[in-house]
Amino acid sequence: MSFLDQLNPEQRRAAQILSGPVLILAGAGSGKTRTLTHRLAHLIASGTPAHRILAVTFTNKAAKEMKERTARLIGEARAASLWIGTFHSICARILRRDAHLLGYDARFTIYDSDDSLTLVKRIMRDHGTLDDSLKPGIVRARISEAKAFLLTPEEYARNRKGPAAAVIADLYRRYQAALISNNAMDFDDLLALPVRLFRTQPEVLEEYRNRFQHLLIDEYQDTNQAQYVLVKMLAESHHNICAVGDDDQSIYGWRGADITNILNFENDFPDATVVRLEQNYRSTRTILKAAGAVVRNNRKRKVKELWTQNDPGDHLTIAELVDEKDEAEWIRERLVRLLEDGHSYGDIAVLYRTNAQSRAIEEAFVRSSKPIPYTVVGGLRFYERKEIKDVLAYLRVIDNPRDSESLRRIVNVPRRGIGEKTMALAAERMGATGLPLLDALRTLEEHELGPRAYKPINEFIRWLDALIANKGEMAVDELLEKILTDTGYRAQLEQDGSVEAETRLQNIGELVAGATAYVEANNEPNVSAFLQDIALVTDADEVQTDGGSSVTLMTLHSAKGLEFPVVFVSGMEEGLFPIAGSLQDAAELEEERRLFYVGLTRAQKLVFLSYAQRRRRFNEWANTQPSRFLREIPDELLKWDTRSTEEPGRHILDQRRFREDGFVGVRGTSTRRIPTVGDEFSQESSYADDFSQTTDSFLAIGHHVMHPMFGRGRITAREGLGLDTKLTIHFDSGQTKKILVRVAHLEPCV
């Protein structure tokens, strides 16, 4: 077929194998999406009905792009019935139809990680286990791990040892019972419950096996045990499975991904055909050589050698700086030079291992004589903001009245006089009757509460019941507008008048606009589908690279799947990258190395690497050693950037340090070997994932700042990271305000 002529020989081979198991090892920048869309198009053009193909991606954005590209190749009508989406969206689709077989209503609510943690905290509080000995976050992580491995609470108790195992198993049981009572599922349930459905309802499994004659699973290296089992069950009868991925880009082991799924594919399917996509279209030869030299140090990998017809390109630039402030300033200086050389802001990404590292870089950009516009990826997600979660909680209750957790969130938000006594009586009634919270509130009578307490709860329930009864007659955006107006939520923010309140109003406006766009784009829009779409938005879906208006700052994990002409990788230090926890574990260290490989292969033209001699850890200075990954890059691919001018208050590196054995000149700059890291690595130079913020910035507690509206004030408290930092400021006017840094336009003052 003519559209296959657009592919290189290996891509074409991958697209043309239409039966049996196929493993496509797609190296970074090798045209994977093009290959997959052409394979889908070829399947349909060869006679396979689109509705008999299941294609699974790891982001909604990737699913949309794949469907649109396929439609362009063969026409929208032929591609329209493709089942394509993320694991979570596909599983949610299955469960909307069949969840009743597992004791759920089709209108189940999907809880995000914050909702899940809130529920765990409440259960621990109610059962007296909320203390310093066992953190809710740990409990939630263990429950998530159990579900990823398809373990019930009873199986978890049998399989896990240690004093906390029995307690966690009991909390897991209570947590799951609460989810069922609320007619809710967490993200892990969306994957685990279809497996249970297929195991307990073989006729349902057979139906889906017959429906999906061809499976295409993208990013196979990132699948966990539940996803692996689900795919195996669906492919069991026909073995028409095409797994696509790159073991060298497996970087999510910390959240349950199992690299052995892709490494053992040929054991699972002995008749599998393996196709290697090794021609890279993204990066220069030098970048590919450097990345390949690093990743070849891993033992658990499939052999592949990326190559390219692109130019050799420039050497990778490396710099040793004094501390994180010096490093940030160096990044800023190099960035300014890149702009002078013709690059745009949108060409450039600054990558780091932990979110906390962005602070120093952000400050350097803001304080630049010409401030550098930037976007931080991976901060507080839009749908995790308080005002958004509040408003969506109203929608959740209207759609699923059994959702007691969402009702708890909004029963007195904004304040309407429903107090703790009322809620305590309702909780008692829930415990005695097993009723959902809303039904328990309905049973409360005036003589139990008194007229003053009864009136607000009665009015609230009548208002809520009216919306529940009439939700089908209102578009989602109309329903949101009614909630915001009737509850006084919008009016309260308008009356506040603070900068933070204005930001919250803007966010709410964006939510309503999104709902309007959803209504316009869907033939049969409804609240359930809208809430599901929102719940299944991934971090990657929210990444915006805006084509030139700002520099992108993000963690290396967030950069997966993206590309930029210029990439900075900062913090190349032992204990930071690789992270300290990986240094004693071979598998984790290999994953850190793969993460560095991912960082390098995001770059098209230029790579800049930096490390600091010292860095603050827990507000104390710690000396550092350069990352072992730097030593794994051949010297001939590196050039050193050294400072030659003294700047006030800056410690300048001794230039003689760059004249050691192994010194060679490259393009007018100096190069040297990376210092060797021995087994004597000191723990005092290691770092935790959550770096403390340095307190020498003007945003430190105790410092005075100037606010454009409230005037001069003193910082009394600080929470959060980067531009999601919130400051509590006591102003000279006598007011005390909580201020969001990213919108406050604060200036230092005495």
The catalytic site residues sit at 32-33, 218-219, 249, 602
Task: Give CA separation, 278 vs 12, 186, 319, 567, 692, in Å.
Answer: 13, 38, 31, 22, 41
Looking up tokens 């004597």 gives 680
Pairing of strands 348-352, 564-569: parallel
CB contact at 8 A, 691 and 354 = yes
**CB-based burial, 611-641: b 16+ in 10 Å, e otherwise:** bbbbbbbeeeebebbbbbbbbbbeeebbbbb
Question: Taking CA 246 as the corner, what is the angle to CA 240 and CA 249, rounded to the nearest 5 degrees?
Answer: 145
CA 717 to centroid of chain Cα atoms: 28
Question: Taking CA 502 as the corner, what is the angle to CA 495 and CA 380, rounded to the nearest 5 degrees?
Answer: 130
The secondary element (H helix, E strand) that includes residue 47 is none
CB contact at 8 A, 627 and 578 = yes
What contacts 225, CB < 8 A, 6 or more positions away? 148, 149, 150, 256, 258
For residues 453 and 426, what is the distance between their CA atoms, to the nearest angstrom?
A: 13
Looking up tokens 């960082």 gives 599
CA 62 to centroid of chain Cα atoms: 15
CB contact at 8 A, 316 and 286 = yes
CB contact at 8 A, 574 and 593 = no
**DSSP symbol at 106:** T
Tokens of 710: 């409230």
For residues 387 and 489, what is the distance between their CA atoms, to the nearest angstrom?
A: 9
Alpha-helix residue ranges (DSSP H) falling in 368-498: 386-399, 404-410, 420-433, 437-443, 446-449, 451-470, 476-486, 489-496
Among 294, 314, 298, 335, smallest CA distance to 674 is for 294
The secondary element (H helix, E strand) that includes residue 96 is helix 87-98
For residues 180 and 286, what is the distance between their CA atoms, to the nearest angstrom?
A: 55
CB contact at 8 A, 442 and 469 = no
What contacts 66, CB < 8 A, 6 or more positions away? 33, 36, 37, 40, 55, 57, 84, 218
For residues 225 and 412, what is the distance between their CA atoms, to the nearest angstrom?
A: 41
Looking up tokens 């760059």 gives 658
For residues 178 and 195, what is the distance between their CA atoms, to the nearest angstrom?
A: 21
User: Hey, is 714 helix, strand or coil?
Assistant: strand
What contacts 448, CB < 8 A, 6 or more positions away? 425, 454
Residues forming beta bridges with residue 747, ordered by sequence position: 706
Instruction: Report the chain's terminal Cα–Cα distance, integer Å.
Output: 72
